[in-house]
Amino acid sequence: MITLKSIRKSYISGGEKVEVLKDVSLSIDKGKYVSITGPSGSGKSTLLHLIGGLEPIDEGEIWVGEQPVHKMKDNDLAKLRLKKIGYVFQQFQLLSTATALENVMMPLLTMFSSAEIKKNAEEALTRVGLAHRLHHLPSRLSGGEQQRVAIARALVTKPEIILADEPTGNLDSETGNKIIELLEEVHATDGVTIVLITQDPALAKRAQETIHVLDGAVNKIESEKVEVVV
Ligand SMILES: Nc1ncnc2c1ncn2[C@@H]1O[C@H](COP(=O)(O)OP(=O)(O)OP(=O)(O)O)[C@@H](O)[C@H]1O
């Protein structure tokens, strides 16, 4: 379960305080598939970063399971992210000088022996359909393949939660659809909680619940009932 209690988050920009989230409370049950929608600049990425402990909050509490993210030190947050949370970003964020296999091995470097690291990374890449691309650099892969590498990198630590920030934003609709199907397969098979930001109303509705972010507030609705405004 992910729980946010009375969260406030602001940024200082150009000397001015911009309040992005104002008194937001929210819970996401373990194993749910949830989408986040809302207009550009409404705070979707900020919300995802807060859940992952990537940004400090001004006020409130964030819990990931039993872990109080709002109180944790950087070291403990790094461990939490490594063990429980996988990230997938719009821009893939792969290391350009490392092969697909090396990119996926990276999160495991402090965890296992080198033989295990390679085996686990190969398995993750096989799962996302890239067994034949292990030694390719990102620049030799298509956008969809690069996003599959990023998903393999997120999966390789066997996370409980995947946070995906517009993972289809840089892909054509057919390739994007395949990426969403892959995340849905991970959700259905492994029971991983998926939190997916998308601007696409049709994609948002595929999730079990949709969180709509607007004017600093959030509104969570079962996806069949949502009228998505973007
Ligand atoms: N590090 C930062 N410093 C200052 N302002 C920021 C920072 N990060 C985000 N903001 C501001 O906070 C607001 C919310 O940004 P955020 O990226 O969370 O929105 P978003 O809904 O994800 O937008 P988009 O759909 O365009 O990606 C925006 O006004 C943005 O300019």
The 10s digit of each residue's pLDDT in 24-68 is: 999 999 999 999 999 999 999 999 999 999 999 999 999 999 999
Question: Would the CA dihedral through 195, 201, 205, 206 be positive or negative?
Answer: negative
Task: Report how far residue 96's alpha carbon sits from residue 74's, in angstroms, rounded to the nearest whole number.
Answer: 26
Q: Is the ipTM of this complex over 0.95?
A: yes
Report pLDDT for 112.
81
Task: Report how far residue 18's alpha carbon sits from residue 11's, in angstroms, rounded to the nearest whole number.
Answer: 5
Task: Report how far residue 22's alpha carbon sits from residue 36's, in angstroms, rounded to the nearest whole number.
Answer: 17
Question: What is the position in ligand 1's atom list of the atom closest to the CA of 48?
Answer: 18
Would strands 33-37 and 193-197 be described as parallel, antiparallel, or unpaired?
Answer: parallel
Assess whether pLDDT exceeds 50 at residue 230: no
- Taking CA atoms only, the protein residue closest to ligand 1 atom 29 is 41
The 10s digit of each residue's pLDDT in 56-85 is: 999 999 999 999 999 999 999 999 999 999
Report pLDDT for 227.
53
Closest CA to 192 of 159, 168, 167: 159
Per cent of the chain over pLDDT 70 is 97
Does domain 2-225 fall into CATH 3.20.20.70?
A: no
Assess whether pLDDT exceeds 80 at residue 228: no
- The predicted model gives 217-221 an average pLDDT of 91
Q: How far is CA 75 from CA 54, 61, 69, 80, in A?
A: 12, 19, 12, 9
Task: Report how far residue 4's alpha carbon sits from residue 34's, in angstroms, rounded to the nearest whole number.
Answer: 15
What are the structure tokens assigned to 1, written together?
């379960």
pTM (predicted TM-score):
0.93
| Ligand 1-lining residues (CB < 6 angstroms) | 11, 13, 18, 20, 38, 40-46
Question: What is the position in ligand 1's atom list of the atom closest to the CA of 12?
Answer: 4
- Taking CA atoms only, the protein residue closest to ligand 1 atom 16 is 43
The Å distance, Cα 41 to ligand 1 centre, comes to 5
Q: What's the whole-number average pLDDT of the chain?
A: 93
Assess whether pLDDT exceeds 80 at residue 224: no
